[in-house]
Amino acid sequence: KGAEGEDVGWMRNGLEGMLEQALSCSRYADVWFEFEDGRRSVKGHRSLLCSLNEKFGRMFESGMVEDKSGIVRVESVTAASFRGFLEWMYLGRPGKECKMADGRELWLL
């Protein structure tokens, strides 16, 4: 169980690092999320999102405009709530970003 626990810890640290890249708009995150106000204040990792969510998988593997442009338009949700959603997607649990989110908006996502 010790080695398995180390593997899980290593993976968790890696995902936390990737989440930080996404939230800080690192050049290593390869897709932008654009909100209704026109701001692009959050990024994500296409490959990780595709592996975690069917909708993202279809979007990025079908030649849709988002696949070509690397920009996903997010409507009816604030950047703060979307950051909480990404935190849950990347880490599989709520954390500090989810606390800043509007629960009603998280429900929409």
Round the average pLDDT of the chain to a whole number and report it: 89
Domain count, the chain: 1
Q: Which domain holds residue 100?
A: 2-108
pTM of the model: 0.83
pLDDT of residue 105: 92
User: Residue 34 region, left (φ>0) first, then alpha (ψ -120 to 50), else beta?
Assistant: beta
pLDDT value at position 29?
95
Query: Residue 9 pLDDT > 80, yes or no?
Result: no
Query: Given this model, what pLDDT does residue 4 score?
Result: 55
CATH of the domain at 17: 3.30.710.10
CA atoms within 13 A on the CB side of 94: 8
The whole-angstrom separation of Cα 61 and Cα 82 is 22
CA distance 64 to 92: 27
Predicted confidence (pLDDT) per residue in 20-33, tens digit = 999 999 999 999 99
